[in-house]
């Protein structure tokens, strides 16, 4: 039954937010998680861009389309806060990560962190990352049933240890830290959200302790010796007016950055691999493009300067991020009464920008279910229809600080995959995408992987 979220203040001229809330607390959570696209479409047809319902135990307003996304993400009114919204999911494990800070404090940290993502820094991360990518991809064993998602997840995790931490670890310590990191990430999606020994939430809390102890132990040497890794960069980062991170800040930001970078990059690469398997003509086109810098230089490597020339990979990456946004929804808590597109939004409400489904709205994207990288190319540039139509990296003050890093890492890995292997899936294969947490293929994306003879 339709009901309104809250009556707008008299004389405000605002409209109440409509919706079908469902059973209190439970609401439509299962439908949203299992069938996000159908659910979003139906809701939009019935209520338009702003509607409410119970979601994950909270009164939640979901805003659809780029116009409403812009209001929330740009946040001119400072009415939408990240910390209280994201903390509900990941707070105990990613405590004081930059995405969980707000307003002045967030800006202060962001200005310092920006120093770790400058062009020269990115260039040196890329140099540090390249050998690990070559070795990691080259070690894959061709054959049938090669699980792309699982292998990419392992590769990006190994790279995170090298490029993010820059600490020499023996295998046992590497496994211990990687295991703790995986437990911390998993804990966010625990059903039992309090510490019962042996269950996810408890393991997440234990993992947080392991990670804190690890980074604190290595911090003095990092501060002293520096390096080409993100850990060193955060230790050294300093704004023009002399602000730096404390030891606590560095540890909190490292733990958060590992999480922010790992699954997102893995999902992007897996989606690209999936569509390139389904559309072999695109795979061949990208392979030719990838072989060009290799032929020029006489080796399979890639320079930072080569990245811009990989226009096909860039279009496929953008289209893959449109088809499957790795961060499917951006939650915010309303910290003072405000409005979105003329609707009254009371303090205390949770607001969600559903990036995953926004990218499939027929109102903004022609033939949205079609994989069509050319929509990002030449004259078409369909993303230009609205600044927030394509927003896999979010927007506003919290826009992904690692987006260039992500582009660099994704393109470098794909470049190596294209030169070494051809991969394919059976003609009618459709991947079973799990959307109950961050999107990922339930079957790990099994492909037939064939090794190519190296040219050049």
Cβ-based nearer residue to ligand HEM, 346 or 392: 392
Do β-strands 350-353 and 58-63 pair in parallel, antiparallel, or remain unpaired?
parallel
Query: In the complex, what is the shortest distance from the CB of residue 328 to ligand HEM, in angstroms, rounded to a whole number?
Result: 9
Number of residues that bind ligand HEM (CB under 6 A): 22
CB 251 to ligand HEM: min, Å: 14
Q: Which is nearer to ligand HEM, 343 or 393 (CB)?
A: 393
Minimum CB separation of residue 98 from ligand HEM in Å reads 5
Which of 62, 75, 82, 349 touches ligand HEM by CB under 6 A?
A: 82
State which residue, 28 or 156, has the beta carbon closest to ligand HEM: 156
Structure tokens at 166: 């820059």
Of 43-51, 256-264, 304-312, 418-426, which part binds ligand HEM (CB under 6 A)? 256-264
Q: 274 with 326: CB under 8 angstroms?
A: no
Cα–Cα distance for residue pair 232/166, rounded to 1 Å: 8
Which of 38, 105 has the CB closer to ligand HEM?
A: 105
Cβ contact 62:55 at 8 Å: yes
| Contact yes or no for 263/438 (Cβ under 8 A) | yes
Which of 207, 211, 235, 257 is in the footprint of ligand HEM by CB under 6 A? Answer: 257
Instruction: Give the residue at shortest CB distance from ligand HEM.
Output: 402
Pairing state between β 50-55 and 421-424: unpaired
The first and second tokens of residue 17, run together, are 């937010």
Residue 184 or 294: the one with the smaller Cβ distance to ligand HEM is 184
Report the sign of the C-alpha dihedral through residues 366, 372, 374, 377, in that order.
positive
Q: Which of the 8 DSSP states describes residue 208?
A: H
Query: How many other CB atoms are found less than 10 A from the CB of residue 112?
Result: 18
Residues 97-116 that bind ligand HEM (CB under 6 A): 98-99, 110
What is the token pair recorded at 3?
Answer: 């009901």
Residue placing its CB nearer to ligand HEM in the complex, 316 or 400: 400
Candidate list 58, 87, 265, 350; residue touching ligand HEM; CB under 6 A:
265
Q: 32: which 2 tokens?
A: 């949203």
CB of 96 to ligand HEM, least distance (A): 12
Mind giving me the DSSP string for 16-31?
A: PPEE---STTTTTHHH
274 binds ligand HEM (CB under 6 A): no
Pick out the residues of the known binding site for heme.
400
User: Token pair of 230, please?
Assistant: 């993100």
Q: Is 366 in contact with 46 (CB distance < 8 Å)? A: no
Q: State the nearest-atom distance from the C-beta of 424 to ligand HEM, in Å.
A: 24
Site for ligand HEM in 188-227 (CB under 6 A): none
The residue among 285, 305, 320 whose CA lies nearest residue 445 is: 320
Binding mask of the shown chain, residues 379 to 418, with x at each position contacting ligand HEM by CB under 6 A:
-------------xxx---x-xxx--xx------------
The answer to the question of residue 350 lying near ligand HEM (CB under 6 A) is no
Question: Is residue 260 a contact point for ligand HEM (CB under 6 A)?
Answer: yes
Distance CA 235, CA 227 (A): 10
Write down how long the chain is.
456
Residue 264 interacts with ligand HEM (CB under 6 A): yes or no: yes
Q: Which of residues 306-345 bind ligand HEM (CB under 6 A)?
A: 326-327, 330
How far are the Cα atoms of 40, 247, 394, 442 from residue 400, in angstroms, in the given order? 24, 23, 6, 26
Contact residues for 150 (Cβ-Cβ < 8 A; gap 6+): 444
Q: Which is nearer to ligand HEM, 69 or 207 (CB)?
A: 69
State the nearest-atom distance from the C-beta of 3 to ligand HEM, in Å. 28
- Identify residues 58-77 at the interface with ligand HEM (CB under 6 A): none
The answer to whether residues 412 and 126 touch, using CB atoms and an 8 Å cutoff, is yes
Strands 421-424 and 433-434: unpaired
Shortest spacing between CB 426 and ligand HEM, in angstroms = 28
Tell the smallest beta-carbon distance from residue 353 to ligand HEM (Å).
Answer: 8
Our finding on whether 123 is near ligand HEM (CB under 6 A) is no
Binding interface with ligand HEM (CB under 6 A) = 82, 98-99, 110, 257, 260-261, 264-265, 268, 326-327, 330, 392-394, 398, 400-402, 405-406
């Amino acid at each position: 039954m339709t009901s309104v979220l809250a009556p707008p203040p008299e004389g405000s001229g605002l409209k109440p937010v409509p919706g079908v809330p469902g059973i209190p607390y439970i609401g439509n959570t299962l439908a949203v998680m299992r069938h996000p696209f159908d659910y979003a479409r139906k809701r939009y047809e019935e209520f338009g861009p702003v509607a409410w319902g119970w979601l994950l135990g909270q009164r939640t307003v979901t805003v659809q389309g780029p116009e409403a996304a812009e209001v929330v993400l740009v946040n001119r009114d400072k009415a939408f806060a990240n910390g209280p919204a994201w903390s509900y999911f990941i707070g105990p494990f990613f405590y004081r990560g930059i995405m969980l800070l707000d307003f002045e404090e967030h800006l202060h940290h962001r200005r310092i962190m920006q120093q770790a993502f400058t062009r020269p820094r990115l260039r040196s991360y890329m140099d540090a990352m390249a050998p690990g990518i070559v070795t990691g991809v080259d070690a894959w064993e061709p054959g049938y049933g090669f699980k792309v998602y699982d292998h990419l997840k392992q590769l990006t995790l190994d790279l995170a240890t090298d490029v993010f931490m820059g600490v020499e670890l023996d295998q046992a310590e590497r496994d211990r830290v990687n295991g703790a990191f995986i437990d911390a990430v998993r804990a966010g999606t625990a059903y039992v959200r309090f510490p019962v020994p042996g269950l996810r939430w408890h393991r997440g809390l234990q993992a947080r302790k392991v990670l804190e102890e690890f980074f604190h132990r290595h911090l003095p040497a990092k501060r002293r010796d520096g390096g080409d890794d993100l850990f060193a960069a955060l230790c050294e980062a300093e704004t023009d007016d002399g602000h730096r991170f404390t030891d606590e800040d560095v540890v909190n930001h490292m733990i958060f950055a590992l999480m922010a970078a790992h699954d997102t990059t893995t999902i992007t690469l897996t989606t690209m691999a999936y569509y390139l398997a389904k559309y072999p003509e695109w795979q061949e086109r990208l392979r030719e493009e990838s072989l060009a810098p290799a032929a020029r230089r006489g080796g399979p490597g890639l320079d930072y300067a080569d990245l811009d020339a990989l226009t096909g990979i860039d279009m496929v990456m953008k289209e893959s991020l449109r088809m499957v946004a790795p961060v499917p929804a951006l939650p915010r808590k309303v910290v003072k009464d405000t409005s979105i597109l003329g609707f009254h939004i009371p303090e205390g409400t949770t607001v969600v920008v559903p990036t995953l489904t926004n990218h499939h709205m027929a109102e903004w994207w022609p033939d949205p279910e079609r994989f069509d990288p050319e929509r990002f190319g030449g004259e078409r540039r369909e993303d230009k229809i609205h600044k927030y139509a394509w927003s896999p990296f979010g927007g506003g003050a919290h826009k992904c600080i690692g987006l260039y890093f992500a582009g660099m890492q994704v393109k470098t890995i794909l470049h190596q995959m294209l030169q070494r292997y051809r991969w394919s899936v059976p003609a009618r294969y459709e991947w079973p995408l799990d959307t109950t947490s961050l999107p990922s293929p339930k079957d790990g994306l099994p492909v037939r992987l064939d090794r190519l003879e190296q040219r050049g």
